[in-house]
A and B are shown apart, each in its own frame.
Chain A
Amino acid sequence: MSAVDPVEIFHAEAQELLEQIEQGLLDLSHRPGDKELVAAVFRALHTLKGSGAMFGFDALANFTHHCETAFDRVRKGEVPATPDLVSAVLNAMDHMRALAEQKPCDPAEGEALLAELERVVALASGHAPASATPSSPAAAAPAAVDAGPARKTWQVVFTLAQDVLVNGTRPLPMLDELRELGECEIRALTDAIPPLEALNPAHCHLGWEVTLTTDQGRSAIEDVFIFVMDDMTLDIQEVGGEPPADVLADAPTPTAPAAVELAPATAGAAHPEADVATAAANGDAKSARADASVRVPAQRLDELMDRVGELVIAQSRLKQIAGASQDMNLRSVAEEIEHLASELRDSMMSVRMVPVAQLFGRFRRLIHDLARDTGKDIDLITEGETTELDKTVIERLADPLVHLIRNSADHGLETPAERLAAGKPAKGRIILAARQAGAEVVITVKDDGRGVNRDRVRAKAEENGLLAPGAVISDSDLLQMIFQPGFSTAAKVTNLSGRGVGMDVVKRTIEGLRGALELSSPAGEGSQVALRIPLTLAIIDGLLVRVGTTRYVIPLSAVEECLELTPEQDVRSTGRSVLTIRDQLVPFLRLRSMFNTKAPPDVYQKIVVVSTGGERVGLVVDQILGDHQTVIKPLSAFHAEVGAFSGATILGDGGVALILDVGHLTTEAAQNDPAPLRAAS
């Protein structure tokens, strides 16, 4: 169990680093001058290179090394982070990902990417305020802040994190690096060394105080610590300029900020105080994050969830036994265990919850690529990123959302020219929003494009035989056609969408998550797809019912109301199976006949009205037993073909109840006997 494959660890780490790099780069394309972002990307690249080499991923390490080198020049302010450069690194990153995942890659492709990167860097450095090389005397005015002749004396006090030696950081080379910057006087701070018996030789207890006189700026000193900055305390104080040099060139003097502000785009120059503040804030945020989270393989979480589920089942058996017993001690213990089990279940659920931000983050790259490929200007707006969903659900939502976003970008949004002609801003918007509504999370993908073209949908449906030519059909039914298998309205198959996998796949995936989706599209005002997803897959609230001798669970989220089927209704409805609820026709299904129940029916049958996809259907059962905390267990492969059930659960008495898949039941009923269902819509 504890023997974890190091390659697996590397995969997980590489995945995280690549995500950091990607997010950093995408942010950078919006804020090209952000020095902190550049540093963050650089650090991630460096770490990726290092761990790649450590785990034997040499191809990755080599490749990353070149990117790192290129990015180092951005970090040093020699090259601005142009959109082209960001794009080139993003493309290179995809190659890194393939290398990290040990997919077969063409080395020539890597070479081509590097060549492109090199070309872009060369081009970008041509646009830089001065010629590229750092040693160039003509480095523009802002560079003078760093490279100017001003020799200053700095007091640098730093202590490293205790476990820094374990991670392979060595303080000596850092001190050497400081020495290289100028005249140096180094004093070790020994006051933190514990008494001998408490001394852990693997820990770093020393701090250092360095008095450094150098002509380099503050950033050069900070660079020495760049890879350990997150976990250390660093204090850099200026103690005085040696020969007070030209005031204008001396950035940190009071007159300087104006001069600095004149050249805001240069990464090399920044206000010293601001610099310290951001570095500190950065460090704080990083260390807070490191403390607050532990990386656990998802599989272990699933195992733990299984155990909790079994505990909940065992607990409900205990409750039943205790309820029948007169023993007060047993009763109180059973009650306490019930309390604990439900708390444990709640915290287990919250452990599995992750914010959708994780999911939404992936789409920024998608939009970036889509905008480039379609030549459209697209803005992705995300809302409600802190909404939380079960981890498994999040993973399974990724593909459907990619499809919906592609659809919006490809079919929904118009080209800038068309948009301007239609009186819309040239830049198209795709809004990705999440919000919690009861036990569901609603995720909407909305665009302000041209909306669904009804004529095209109709033509396509008729062409595929889904609709009789000229048939009268309501607007919402027409829109539903999009979700039919084999339907694609794209007039031509593009690289982006219309590759055969259509909206029916999206619909099936969402229904597989026990969710539902709705499409609305007022003509000309864009379209919106709303996905309604249950919060979790593992445990649901259910309504326990009995049909014949067998018990079934109906997901409570689908239940609208419970009614009694009066004998008159029962007799009258044999022909059409429709009843009237508050002047609305609601078709109903007799579960007894669907399930071939042989036991005699109860005198008073009950109807559970459920709603699926906007349709209401009544399910006739023998008895309603009450609500039940349902731990969902999958059915075996033998019963996967029986679509009527989405799983099974174990009841308090150890028996098994099947969980009804309401959506499936109603569609099946509609196929067998379409007449009563038509009456409802």
Chain B
Amino acid sequence: MTQTATLFENGAVDVLTFDLDGEVFAIEATLVQEVMDKAPETSVPGAPAFVDAVINFRGRIIPLADLRLAFSLGAHDPSLDSRIIVIAHEMDGETTLIGLRADKVYEVTTLSEAATEAPPRIGLRWRQDFIQCLAKHEDDIIVVPDLGAIFASRGQPKAGASITSLSTH
């Protein structure tokens, strides 16, 4: 709950919405550094599938994370719409740049706190702690993922890692 509170400082927040396998996700717009077209990827053998590659972002080598794996969504071959969203994420006290794969990037929009709900305890096929909140926007439901929890568990979609995620709360 506290996370939702920090997300909506003045009752509303600007987010960038994007598509992952037909689902609409949103991340805080202030975290976003850049939206890139496809960049040459270098796969890292032996790395978790969730972050299996690195890319060159303005002279820095940043990991490329695939949120689809965390939400057990199907991966698509890169299309003309595929983008990489580069975000600055606070990890272990250090700001780390991370690229997120997206099937499509929509727009920057404003979510109001009134239209959001905490993730339901049941009826959700995703790990509850991976979701910060759900927002109704126009006719859609937008998922606001909890990036901290996802990165901490390296995007493991199943329990097992959930013990660590419990202790982070």
Contacts and interface: CB of A to CB of B under 8 A. Distances in A.
B42 interface: yes
Nearest to B48: A638
B77 to A, nearest CB: 15
Contacts of A474: none
Nearest to B44: A639
Interface in A583-641: 594-596, 633, 635-639, 641
Contacts of A551: 42
Interface string A452-488: 0000000000000000000000000000000000000
Contact of A656 (B51, B56, B65, B96): B56
B121 interface: no
A107 interface: no
A642 B47 contact: yes
A41 interface: no
Interface string B37-48: 000101111111
Interface in B30-73: 40, 42-48, 51, 54-56, 59-63, 65
A648 B47 contact: no
A255 B85 CA distance: 89
B161 interface: no
Contact of B54 (A310, A595, A635): A635
Contacts of A638: 47-48, 51, 63, 65, 151, 154
Given A655-B40, A657-B42, A639 B56 contact: no
A637 B45 contact: no
Contacts of A550: 42-43
A595 B46 CA distance: 7
B143 interface: no
A315 to B, nearest CB: 12
A656 B154 CA distance: 22
Interface in A135-164: none
A639 B96 contact: no
A309 to B, nearest CB: 8
B91 A596 contact: no
A642 B44 contact: yes
A633 B65 CA distance: 19
Given A637-B92, A638-B65, A648 B54 contact: yes
A644 B45 CA distance: 9
Given A594-B45, A648-B54, A656-B55, A639 B40 contact: no
A655 B59 CA distance: 10
Contacts of B62: 636
A58 to B, nearest CB: 33
Interface residues of A, number: 26
A236 to B, nearest CB: 59
Contacts of B45: 594-596, 642, 644
A654 interface: yes
A266 to B, nearest CB: 58
B98 interface: yes
Contact of B59 (A594, A595, A650, A657): A650
Contact of A313 (B40, B46, B48, B59): B59
B91 A637 contact: yes
A645 interface: yes
Interface string A551-564: 10000000000000
A636 B57 CA distance: 13
Contacts of B61: 633, 635-636, 648-650, 656
Nearest to A547: B45
A658 B46 CA distance: 12
Nearest to B50: A638
B160 to A, nearest CB: 17
Contacts of A650: 56, 59, 61
A655 B91 contact: no
Contacts of A654: 40, 56
A307 to B, nearest CB: 9
Interface in A287-336: 310, 313-314
B56 A658 contact: no
A9 B106 CA distance: 50
Interface string B81-113: 000000000011000101000000000000000
Nearest to A656: B42
Interface of B: 40, 42-48, 51, 54-56, 59-63, 65, 91-92, 96, 98, 151, 154
19 contacts: A310-B59, A313-B59, A550-B42, A551-B42, A633-B60, A635-B61, A636-B54, A636-B62, A636-B98, A638-B48, A638-B65, A639-B44, A639-B54, A639-B63, A641-B47, A650-B59, A654-B56, A655-B56, A658-B54
